[in-house]
Amino acid sequence: MAGLALIAREAGFSVSGCDQAVYPPMSDLLYSQDIAIQEGYHPEQLDTEPELFVIGNALSRGNALVEHILKQRCPYTSGPQWLREAIIPQKPVLAVAGTHGKTTTASIAAFILDQCGIEPGFLIGGVPGNFDVSARLGSGDWFVIEADEYDTAFFDKRAKFLHYRPDVLILGNLEFDHADIFDSIGDIERQFEYLLRSVPSDGVILVNTDHAELNELLARGCWSQIVSYSCTDTPATWRAVALQADCRRFEVFNENIRVATVDWPLIGRHNMANALGAIAASQIIGVELAAACASLTEFQAPRRRLERTNPSSSIALFDDFAHHPTAVRETLHSLQALERRGKLIAILEPRSNTMKRGVHRAELARALSIADMAIILRRDDLDWDPSELTPLAEGAKITVCDSVLEIVDKVCDTAEPGDRIVMMSNGSFDGLRGLLSARLN
C-alpha cells in the first residue's frame, strides 16, 4: 500500500493514508516523499472529501473507517485493481510469484532492467537497496511487480496477483502459508492455477524446477511458453553453479553452455536462485546477458533481507524478514556458510498468521536446529507455546523469552566476537534491532 501511494503521487494524485501502526522502513520512505500518514482509522478522514479510497487487504468489515466509507457511499477500490486499471493497462508486466523470495527477485529484476537502460516501473513489497523508493511509474515500457497470493480485499477474496496479467511470470517456489485465509496447500495451488491461466499464449513462465510442486502445478494446465531454471543438477534451460560455499560467486549456464560469472555481495543458495530467475527474465525481455550478469556486482539487497546492520563490529548482527520455516532454514544455512568461527544465534518472532497458529511447528524446530542457539519470543497472541519446539529441535538449544528486553539480555550475556546473530521477523520486532545494536556496540 505504501508503494501504491508512491506511484499515485508520482502520477499526479494528491495522496494521504492511514494505518494501525506505521514503522520503518516504510514509514521513513513515506515521510521522505511528503505523504501524510495518520495512525488509526478515524471517520474524520472523510472530511478532506477524497475522490477515491484505495483499501488494503488488512482491513475488514467492522473497521470504523470502512463502515463509514460504505455508509456514505464513498467510491472505493482495492490496491491491485486500481493499479491494473489506472496505472499499467498498457504496460507489459514482469511478475514474480512464489511463497518466498518475491521481494528480492523483483528487486533484482528491476535493478537489472534499470541498469541496462529499460527504466522500468516497479512495485516491490519492501525497500530495494538500489532505489530510493519501493515503487515508481518508470519511463520505460515494462513494469516489474511482486505478485502476492494473499487475498485482494475484504470485498475481493481473489489472490492479488490475479489482477496483474503478467507477460513474463517467474515462479520461484510454492508452499503452504497464509493459514488465516487458506485452509490447505490445495487452496493456494488453485490460486496459482488461475494465475497460469492469465498468462497469454505468447507469454513466458519461468519455473524453478528445483521445486517439484511447481512441476506438478504446470502439469494441470499451462498455455504459455515454459522456461526452466535450476540451482542443482536438475535438467533446466538455465542453471547456476556456485563457485564458493556462500554463493557470492556463481556461474550461469544457458542450454548447458557457460555464459557468464556473477560476482555479487549477496550470500545464500536461495539468493543465487533468485538472481538466476531474474537474469533469465531480463534476457527474455531483451537485455544483453553479459550486461545483466555484470550489473549484479553493484546490487544491494532490499532492506531487512539478511541485512548486516553493523558492518564494522566483531559480532555480526543481521536483520531478516524470514517468517516461514523454509525461509528460516535458508537464512541460517546462508549464515552457516560464512567463514566465521563463532556461534550462530537465531532470534525469531513468530508473528505471521501462519506462525501464530503453530502450523509448521515440527519444520520450524528442524530449521532452528541449524543454529547453535535459538531464541524465540513468546507473544501473547500465539495459539501455542514456543517451548513445545524444544523436544523437536534435535538437541539444539532453544530459549523462550517473554519480552524483547529479556532477549537483549540473553544475547548480550552469550555473544562473543566472531558470532553471527540474526533477528527474524516480518514486523518491527518491538524495536529489537535498535535495542540490540546499541547494547552490542
CATH code (residue 254): 3.40.1190.10
CATH code (residue 69): 3.40.50.720
pLDDT given at position 396:
64
Number of alpha carbons in the 13 Å side-chain half-sphere of residue 359? 21
- CB contact at 8 A, 113 and 285: yes
Do 104 and 201 share a domain, yes or no? yes
HEC letters along the chain: CHHHHHHHHHCCCCCEEEECCCCCCHHHHHHHCCCEEEECCCHHHHHHCCCCEEECCCCCCCCHHHHHHHHCCCCEEEHHHHHHHHHCCCCCEEEEECCCCHHHHHHHHHHHHHHCCCCCEEECCCCCCCCCCCEECCCCCCEEEECCCCEEECCEEEEHHHHCCCCEEEECCCCCCCCCCCCCHHHHHHHHHHHHHCCCCCCEEEEECCCHHHHHHHHCCCCCEEEEEECCCCCCCEEEEECCCCCCEEEEEECCEEEEEEECCCCCHHHHHHHHHHHHHHHHHCCCHHHHHHHHHHCCCCCCCCEECCCCCCCEEEEECCCCHHHHHHHHHHHHCCCCCCCEEEEECCCCHHHHHCCCHHHHHHHHCCCCEEEEECCCCCCCCHHHHHHHCCCCEEEEECCHHHHHHHHHHHCCCCCEEEEECCCCHHHHHHHHHHHHC
Residue after which a domain boundary falls, among 264, 298, 332: 298
The band of 359, judged by pLDDT with boundaries at 50, 70 and 90, is confident
Do 95 and 192 share a domain, yes or no? yes
The band of 404, judged by pLDDT with boundaries at 50, 70 and 90, is very high
Do 248 and 374 share a domain, yes or no? no
The pLDDT of 17-40, averaged and rounded, is 86
Do 364 and 315 share a domain, yes or no? yes
195-250 residue pLDDT tens? 999 999 999 999 999 999 999 999 999 999 999 999 999 999 999 999 999 999 99
Do 324 and 396 share a domain, yes or no? yes
Do 360 and 237 share a domain, yes or no? no
CATH code (residue 374): 3.90.190.20
User: What pTM was computed for the model?
Assistant: 0.91
Angle, vertex CA 416, rays to CA 415 and CA 419, nearest 5: 80
Tally of domains within the chain: 3
118-170 residue pLDDT tens? 999 999 988 888 998 889 999 999 999 999 999 999 999 999 999 999 999 99
Unique residue bearing C-alpha cell 477500490: 77
Do 106 and 45 share a domain, yes or no? no
385-396 residue pLDDT tens? 988 887 776 666
Average pLDDT, the chain: 92
d(CA 284, CA 168): 8
Query: For 56-60, 64-68, 320-324, which range has the lowest pLDDT when averaged over its residues?
Result: 320-324
* Cis before 25 (ω within 30): yes
Do 194 and 264 share a domain, yes or no? yes
Residue after which a domain boundary falls, among 52, 79, 106: 79
Do 224 and 188 share a domain, yes or no? yes
> Which residue range forms the structural domain that includes residue 411?
307-440
In DSSP terms, 17 is beta-bridged to 37
The pLDDT of 35-47, averaged and rounded, is 87
371-382 residue pLDDT tens? 999 999 999 999
Do 288 and 334 share a domain, yes or no? no
92-125 residue pLDDT tens? 999 999 999 999 999 999 999 999 999 999 999 8
Residue type, 249: R
The pLDDT of 68-74, averaged and rounded, is 95
255 φψ region: left (φ > 0), alpha (ψ -120 to 50), beta (else): left
Do 374 and 392 share a domain, yes or no? yes
Residue after which a domain boundary falls, among 51, 79, 107: 79
Do 257 and 359 share a domain, yes or no? no
